[in-house]
A and B are shown apart, each in its own frame.
Chain A
């Protein structure tokens, strides 16, 4: 039996695609092994959103080659699009597979072992031709509804590597969700590049979410990352649906209107704040998590302070903060007032401290309350999973089972362990 190892970098969409690909290989008699083990096939599902992502991807390529020089090494994902020529020139890489061919990975590798060497250009191009994710790495079942982005934010390389926005057919999504629920999925995660811009025939994003929520079954629905400009009041109303989890990752990027304009974001600080306040007026403990870019060209001390203030005021449950890095081919690459690396590093440290406090403050409110935790990993006696607010919870018991809901009374928070909530069975 051939062995295969995956390393996934970057976004939820990449995670979903890896899950689906890993399931396909397992269903075809491949054994999934850890990336740290020797394998016959290594797949790096790369990311190129920052310099750091590129660096990590290159590092994992080298690691895979060191572990087994005779392995089939495939690099796919956004770096495969953005640095195709560089990657194709490296002898240790067998195949460089762009995003639009990614779903045909199994066909490529299987042909290789049968002695039929295919060039990736011969493969089918289909952004949505992924199988089910039942044997992937996650308990939550991710559903891809959309790919690509037309927003062209000035810092972002993604439209160049993921392409134009394309939405998956409405009925195909519903069929996919029904199938994973029937297979036992308890949590469905909607994923894509810019899911708020979902549009298929007459169906918009909120129509799709409403239709999924109205499906039968004991499951809960989670929305992954969402841009603040692509939805309206109908969607906000759906956040009160009993199957909808009270969590949104709403990408802020900056707390300064001037910086948001230069980033070509399509919302203001005020509209973002209004959205958060509107939702929390109905559900005060709603978990908002976000992304912040530190040191975008022209970001002044005052702009940076506004970002810090937003984090303090909106009490985000988690902030993914990262330093701006120039991406070739973007509009911001040509902006003249680049911020010094030293300044970005100093600001990162300040902002991360504020974000950490915000996270602990936000999560502390759950002590004494009950979370419905879906177990993702357990040895039978100790289990770890996520509550409906998408906060990690750990608890103990007997015969605990993966992919099962447990009602947990939160007793404490482990500040030293990234704000993990500690609880006990009710």
Chain B
């Protein structure tokens, strides 16, 4: 476990923010996560890495959890504060031999877009479509950083996105081609439903990758 200085906090909505930390010699594979906590504290939480492999800083996207132990305290961090970073962990990763040759569908809800942001910014040349499911448009975190022709915003709480409804409803109305590699990241129910839909549309088990957010 190493100590990393906070560089900045970037508020995206009243409850969601990005912590940027110094990277030091930390290495990871895009899609992996870290555990984060205050130096010396045993309380730690897992966060997917938001930044790209080649960035010279390390970022995580965090949503404040009501009654959360850490997310509220992390938001109050000041530049120069020390955080303990452990990792990188996880197997939610792209396969090297597929990145340039395959077509990808990234399906995420809420802050589940974090590892997808890292995928796309690490490999901007990828042939991808990104579905991001949220309730209100303000939760479209840094949507301007994606190619608008590849980004589909699904808003379920209001008709302000590219599609009014859940990502699963979008998938039912817009079947995915069976030769697509799918990565799903978000809450358990979305993953469960989307998985069934994709399977019925002919996507075989192998090319579906999932990461659950709670």
Contacts and interface: CB of A to CB of B under 8 A. Distances in A.
Interface residues of B, number: 15
Nearest to B68: A334
B195 interface: yes
Given A261-B212, A262-B188, A271 B205 contact: yes
Nearest to A230: B91
Contacts of A270: 205
Interface in A211-261: 229, 257-258, 261
Given A150-B89, A150-B90, A152-B89, A264 B192 contact: no
A152 B46 contact: yes
Interface string A313-344: 00000000000000001010011000000000
A98 to B, nearest CB: 16
Interface in B176-200: 188-189, 191-192, 195
B195 A268 contact: yes
B30 interface: no
Contact of A262 (B42, B91, B195, B212): B212
Interface in B153-205: 188-189, 191-192, 195, 205
Interface residues of A, number: 19
Nearest to A270: B205
Given A150-B89, A264-B212, A266-B91, A331 B46 contact: yes
Contacts of B44: 329
B137 to A, nearest CB: 28
B70 to A, nearest CB: 11
B42 to A, nearest CB: 8
B83 to A, nearest CB: 18
B195 A331 contact: no
Contacts of A154: 214
A334 B188 CA distance: 15
Interface string A147-163: 00011101000000000
A150 B28 CA distance: 13
Interface in A160-189: none
B210 interface: yes
Nearest to A271: B205
Given A257-B192, A258-B188, A268 B89 contact: no
A261 B214 CA distance: 10
Contacts of B214: 154, 262, 331, 334-335
A206 B173 CA distance: 42
A261 B210 contact: yes
B188 A261 contact: yes
A152 B46 CA distance: 10
A258 B205 contact: no
Contacts of B192: 257-258, 261
A152 B90 contact: yes
Contacts of B205: 268, 270-271, 274
25 contacts: A150-B90, A150-B91, A152-B46, A152-B89, A152-B90, A154-B214, A257-B192, A257-B195, A258-B188, A258-B189, A261-B188, A261-B191, A261-B212, A262-B188, A262-B212, A262-B214, A266-B91, A268-B205, A270-B205, A274-B205, A329-B42, A331-B46, A331-B214, A334-B214, A335-B214
Interface of B: 42, 44, 46, 89-91, 188-189, 191-192, 195, 205, 210, 212, 214
6 residue pairs, one from A and one from B, having the closest CB atoms = A261-B188, A261-B212, A150-B89, A258-B192, A271-B205, A262-B188
